[in-house]
A = this chain, B = another copy of it.
Amino acid sequence: MNEQLRAISELDRVIHEPGRLMIVALLWPVKECDFLYLLNATEMNKGNLSSHLARLEEAGYVEIEKTYRGKVPRTLLRLTRKGRTAFDQYRKGLKAAF
C-alpha cells in the first residue's frame, strides 16, 4: 500500500463523517459556542446534531457543558485538546492523501 492510500485508510472515522466534520471545523477556531449556534450554522436538525455531539463527546473530542441563561437551558460546546489534535491530524492526513 502506498503513502496516499495509507493516509486515506487511516483517516479518523469519527471526524470523517461530514456532520461531525462541520461541528469540529466550527469549534476549532473558537473557544466555545452553544448548541443553537451549531444548529444554525450546520443546518442540521436537533436530533442529528445532538447525536453527533454525543458521539464526539464519547470520543473525548468535545466537552458538553449544560448551563442556564436565566431560566433557559443552554448547552455549551468546546473542543478538547484531544479533539483539537485529532482534527489537526485529520487535516494532515488529507494533505498527505491529496
**A residues engaging B (CB < 8 A)?**
1-2, 4-5, 8-9, 11, 13, 16, 18, 21-22, 25-26, 41-43, 91, 94, 97-98
Contacts and interface: CB of A to CB of B under 8 A. Distances in A.
A41 B9 CA distance: 11
A50 to B, nearest CB: 17
A44 to B, nearest CB: 9
A97 to B, nearest CB: 7
A21 B42 contact: no
A5 B23 CA distance: 9
In the complex, the 6 A-B pairs of residues with the closest C-beta atoms, listed nearest first: A5-B22, A8-B22, A8-B21, A8-B18, A1-B43, A11-B18
